[in-house]
């Protein structure tokens, strides 16, 4: 046992400072009490506040806020006490083990709360546990030295395993922070009642871009990469944008403009290329439009900026529907108009204000043509079904009132000839000349 402790850089058990070990144990107990107080005083309030800013029910991050507050509070106390005094190796090992457990638990709750799953959470927690424990026994410095000494060269540059590990860990940590930041921004923005859905979507996208850019520069700074090395890359990126990615960036800018001027919003009913559909989502590249057939069309953002688009929900959701009805010349026209208006008023989706109206539009060949005009406020529900409903009600009322709906008819007159008279022969064709 002593030989194993010596290999780990620890003195013999007989040489341990029991007083410092007891103080370290007391510090761990104080850290646990501090975490418990932080959980009761801060964790519950933070969970309630975050729950009030979520869309509907409690999410995974909200449920883990109290436990996360406990472990982070305990970890801060242990780290402060660990750094404030040159502890005995065994006391340092005890504090390191407590800090490793608290850090691993904090990372696990944070990763699961961010929605990355249980397996990534276990992986991150294991890395945190192993790194802090190795640092507590002095093995982390030795491990770093061996990783830095092992590497390979590419041209004039040399890469070590320590560099690869740092890049991987930095990338994973920044990815976690970006996901967590996007989730927090989404829940805070959607929980506020001051912004409409379009403004919420715009804030989410701009905040997402800002978080990614900030994470990129933070990663560059942490890894110690010189930004002047990106001069050639930025020039190549400019050429790619100018030639190959012109449409992509055009759609990106068009999507931001659509969200800013609010000309098209999620939920609007628009007409694009004679297709009527409801805007489902405004993405970075295209707008998702779902038609009444259940087909989802991805319309590029730039097309909505340059082509003519009808928005039935831009300033008002009320849409007027025109319906043509023909009535026989022998019918009571005023009664027919009254029945058509009654049929429209009985339909559930027809608005009472503006009220339905009926006008004579023309005297046709076989009918008096009328146009029934009704208003609806839910165009996303479809136009064919409301027209079919009103037409069927008009049919029933006309049947009860005896009003005829005419249809085209043709009269055939046969002329009679005297007896013995022959029918006129058709005219003879002139002979065709040959060339």
What average pLDDT does range 400-412 have in this prediction?
80
Residues 308 and 334 in one domain: no
- To which residue do tokens 């055939």 refer? 412
Q: What is this structure's pTM?
A: 0.43
CATH number at residue 336: 3.30.70.100
Would you place residue 301 in the very low, low, confident or very high pLDDT band (cuts 50, 70, 90)? confident
Would you place residue 417 in the very low, low, confident or very high pLDDT band (cuts 50, 70, 90)? low
CATH number at residue 306: 2.30.30.60
Answer yes or no: is pLDDT of 299 > 80.
Answer: yes
Residues 9 and 122 in one domain: yes
Residues 11 and 73 in one domain: yes
Contacts of 352 (CB under 8 A, 6+ apart): 345
Q: What is the 8-class DSSP label of residue 365?
A: S
Residues 278 and 327 in one domain: no
Answer yes or no: is pLDDT of 141 > 60.
Answer: no
Residues 113 and 33 in one domain: yes
Higher pLDDT, residue 172 or 242: 172
Q: Is residue 426 part of a domain?
A: no
Q: List alpha helices for 192-229, DSSP H.
A: 197-223
How much is the pLDDT for 338? Answer: 93
Express as a percent the part of the chain with pLDDT over 90: 12
Q: Is residue 174 part of a domain?
A: no
How much is the pLDDT for 372? Answer: 93
396 contacts 384 by C-beta, under 8 angstroms = no
Q: Is residue 171 part of a domain?
A: no
Would you place residue 398 in the very low, low, confident or very high pLDDT band (cuts 50, 70, 90)? very high
Of 88, 39, 89, the residue nearest 68 (C-alpha): 39
Provide DSSP, 316-360.
Answer: -S-EEEEEEEEE-TTS-HHHHHHHHHHHHHHSTTS-SSSPPEEEE
The separation between the first and the last C-alpha atoms of the chain, rounded to the nearest angstrom, is: 124
Q: Is residue 256 part of a domain?
A: yes
- To which residue do tokens 């400072």 refer? 17
Residues 326 and 306 in one domain: no
- Mean pLDDT in the chain? 75
Q: What angle do CA 209, 213, 216 make, to 5 degrees?
A: 140
Higher pLDDT, residue 306 or 395: 395
Residues 362 and 326 in one domain: yes
How much is the pLDDT for 56? Answer: 38
Q: Is residue 310 part of a domain?
A: yes
Structural domain including 366 reads: 319-401
State the sign of the Cα–Cα–Cα–Cα dihedral 128, 129, 133, 134. negative
**How long, in residues, is the chain?**
435
Answer yes or no: is pLDDT of 341 > 90.
Answer: yes
How much is the pLDDT for 270? Answer: 84
Most confident of 3-17, 174-188, 410-424: 174-188
Q: Is residue 152 part of a domain?
A: no
Answer yes or no: is pLDDT of 21 > 90.
Answer: no
Residues 308 and 325 in one domain: no
| Of 87, 118, 137, the domain-final residue | 137
Higher pLDDT, residue 99 or 244: 99
Q: Is the backbone peptide bond immediately before 385 cis, with ω within 30 degrees of 0? A: no
How much is the pLDDT for 244? Answer: 59
State the sign of the Cα–Cα–Cα–Cα dihedral 157, 161, 162, 166. positive
Residues 89 and 113 in one domain: yes
**In degrees rounded to 5, what are phi and psi of residue 109?**
-65, -35
Residues 255 and 132 in one domain: no
| Of 114, 137, 160, the domain-final residue | 137
State the sign of the Cα–Cα–Cα–Cα dihedral 338, 339, 341, 345. positive
Residue-wise pLDDT for 174-197, tens only, equals: 777 787 777 777 777 776 666 666
Q: Is residue 387 part of a domain?
A: yes
Residues 380 and 285 in one domain: no
Would you place residue 2 in the very low, low, confident or very high pLDDT band (cuts 50, 70, 90)? very low
**In degrees rounded to 5, what are phi and psi of residue 430?**
-75, 140
| Of 137, 158, 173, the domain-final residue | 137
Higher pLDDT, residue 138 or 351: 351
What is the number of structural domains in the chain?
3
Higher pLDDT, residue 400 or 428: 400
Q: Is residue 143 part of a domain?
A: no
Would you place residue 356 in the very low, low, confident or very high pLDDT band (cuts 50, 70, 90)? very high
Residue-wise pLDDT for 61-118, tens only, equals: 667 777 888 888 888 888 888 787 777 777 777 888 888 888 888 888 877 776 667 7
Residues 339 and 362 in one domain: yes
């Amino acid at each position: 046992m002593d030989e194993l402790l010596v290999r780990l850089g620890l003195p013999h058990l007989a040489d341990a400072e029991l007083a410092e070990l007891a103080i370290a144990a007391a510090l761990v107990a104080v850290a646990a009490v501090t975490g418990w107080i932080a959980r009761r005083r801060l964790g519950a309030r933070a969970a309630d506040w975050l729950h009030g800013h979520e869309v509907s029910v409690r999410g995974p991050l909200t449920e883990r806020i109290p436990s996360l507050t406990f472990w982070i509070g305990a970890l801060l106390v242990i780290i402060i006490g660990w750094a404030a005094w040159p502890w005995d190796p065994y006391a340092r090992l005890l504090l390191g083990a407590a800090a490793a457990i608290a850090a691993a638990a904090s990372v696990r709750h944070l990763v699961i709360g961010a929605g990355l799953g249980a397996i990534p959470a276990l992986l991150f927690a294991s890395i945190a546990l192993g790194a802090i424990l190795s640092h507590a026994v002095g093995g982390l410095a030795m491990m770093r030295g061996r990783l830095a000494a092992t590497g390979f060269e590419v041209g004039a540059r040399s890469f070590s395993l320590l560099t690869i590990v740092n890049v991987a860990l930095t990338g994973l940590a920044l990815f976690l922070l970006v996901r967590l930041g996007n989730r927090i921004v989404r829940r805070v923005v959607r929980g506020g009642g001051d912004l409409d859905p379009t403004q919420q979507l715009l804030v989410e996208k701009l905040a997402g871009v800002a978080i990614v850019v900030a994470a990129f520069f933070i990663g560059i700074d942490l890894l110690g990469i010189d930004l002047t090395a990106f001069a050639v890359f930025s020039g190549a990126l400019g050429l790619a944008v100018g030639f190959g990615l012109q449409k992509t960036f055009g759609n990106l800018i068009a999507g931001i403009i659509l969200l800013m001027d609010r000309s098209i919003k999620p939920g609007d009913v628009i007409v694009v290329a004679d297709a009527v559909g409801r805007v489902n989502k405004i993405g970075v590249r295209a707008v998702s439009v779902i038609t009444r057939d259940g087909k989802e069309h991805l319309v590029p953002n730039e097309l909505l900026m340059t082509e003519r688009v009808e928005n039935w929900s831009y300033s008002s959701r009320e849409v007027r529907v025109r319906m043509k009805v023909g009535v026989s010349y022998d019918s009571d026209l005023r009664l027919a108009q009254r029945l058509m208006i009654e049929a429209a008023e009985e339909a559930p989706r027809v608005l009472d204000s503006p009220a339905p109206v009926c006008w004579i539009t023309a005297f046709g060949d076989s009918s008096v043509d009328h146009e029934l005009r009704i208003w609806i406020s839910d165009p996303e529900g479809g136009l064919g079904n409301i027209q079919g409903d009103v037409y069927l009600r008009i049919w029933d009322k006309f049947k009860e009132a005896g009003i005829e709906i005419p249809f085209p008819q043709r009269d055939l007159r046969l002329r009679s000839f005297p007896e013995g008279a022959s029918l006129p022969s058709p005219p003879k064709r002139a002979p065709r000349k040959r060339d």
